[in-house]
Amino acid sequence: MLDAVAYHAALDARMVRAARELRLLQLVSWPMAVQQAFLARRAAGRTALPQVEYPRLDFGDARRELDAIARAADPEHPLGRYVGESARSWSVAAELLEALGSAAVSAHSVRLFGRPDQPLPGNGPSTREAARHFIAIADELDRELLAPEEQVAISATALQLQLQSDLDDFFNQRLVEVVLDPTLIAKAAAGATRIRLRAGAAFSDYDRHQLLQHEALVHSLTALNGREQPVLASMALSSPRTTATQEGLATFAEQITGSIDIERMKRVSLRIEAVAMALEGADFVQVFDYFLDAGQDEVESFASAQRVFRGVPLTGGAAFTKDTVYLRGLIGVHTFFRWALKQHDLRLGRRLFAGKMTLADALRLQPLFDDGTLAPPRWLPRWVARANGLAGMLAFSLFANRIRLDAVADAPLLQAAD
């Protein structure tokens, strides 16, 4: 019998072939024509639910192959655990895609991405409670505090040139291409070698840095590093089970580099609240109006609402719950990095960039990184590569978290300030 590494590498290769057509986000997304029709009817005073048609898909062969791979993987071996859990995740994704347009998509989505009422890591408040916290802080922010550069719009064309220059400098070659896409409803989307920006959209200076750190130097970079893996080719793929860690790591990258702003946190949080509203019965128009009332324009409100209703009926009671992973993933990744510092092993954080994996994978696969079976990341964002700077920020975070804010009002410093 083949040794365990070769055996599971062969299973992993089979899984990559089986999952090739399961392009989850691409298949649940709506065409631009749906947005145009909805906004045109609304402008004419005839607001109605959008009309969305999904293809009838049959992934029976892929599901059977993925289920067979999951059964064949050895759960006692770290590679087997990785392959088995990944194959089961892809199988659920196949079930979701076969159910497009029905309420069953919501249940499959919850299996993959969770719900907004789930507690955050550490048995803290729920994801929805955290979202409401950030929304409240953003709403209380004095708009006059915004610096002038925060209010200057950047065109998609200008941003394309700026991001392309940033990425060419980072990789010292043209590895990732930044392109304009007039058919994109979201403002941006990233693959391994291409980042798409919605043509005609307006961006802020924060958007530029967020897209660089989040989309390019996490999503694209981990895909490129995953392609360098000699054993697990699937580490280049955006497996549904890695979504929480990927989005958490990408959002953490924004935070640790100072690229995130409170409005970004508000946008993420509004989506979580909107998912909860949809699960509780709100229909598409009600969720669209919720984003409008929160300060988004009609185009952005539509884009935000369609994220919530991808693949599900628009009449309420169902949702595509992917957006619930952002805050949960951010808290999880932040805690992971702090824990790695406490263990005096920041290599664990670096290994998250070696391909697309979960936090648990980074721990389980540690012996295989140590013995060379798995390759270290070829490319690292600068904030990860500079261990001293990262350690300094995390060390401060570890200490600051020991301070109880509810007791600060009694501190001598604040008493003196009074």
Rounded Cα gap, residues 314 and 333, in angstroms: 33
DSSP state of 119: B
What's the pLDDT tens digit per position in 172-208?
999 999 999 998 888 888 888 999 999 988 898 888 9
What's the pLDDT tens digit per position in 320-366?
999 999 999 999 999 898 888 888 788 889 999 999 999 999 999 99
Residue 240 near residue 18 (C-beta atoms within 8 A): no
Residue 180 near residue 157 (C-beta atoms within 8 A): yes
Rounded Cα gap, residues 153 and 161, in angstroms: 15
Question: Would you tell me how many other CB atoms lie within 10 Å of the CB of residue 243?
Answer: 22
What's the pLDDT tens digit per position in 42-64?
999 999 999 999 999 999 999 99
Residue 188 near residue 356 (C-beta atoms within 8 A): no
* pLDDT score of 338: 86
Question: Would you tell me how many other CB atoms lie within 10 Å of the CB of residue 161?
Answer: 11
Rounded Cα gap, residues 272 and 304, in angstroms: 10
Summarize the confidence of residues 395-411 as an average pLDDT: 56
Beta strands 177-181; 194-198: pairing state: parallel
Helix (H) or strand (E) run with residue 203 in it: strand 202-203
Residue 186 near residue 303 (C-beta atoms within 8 A): yes
What's the pLDDT tens digit per position in 13-35?
999 999 999 999 999 999 999 99
Backbone angles phi, psi at 189, to 5 degrees: -150, 145
pTM of the model: 0.90
Sign of the four-CA dihedral 166, 168, 171, 177? positive
Beta strands 154-155; 188-190: pairing state: unpaired
Mean residue pLDDT across the chain: 90
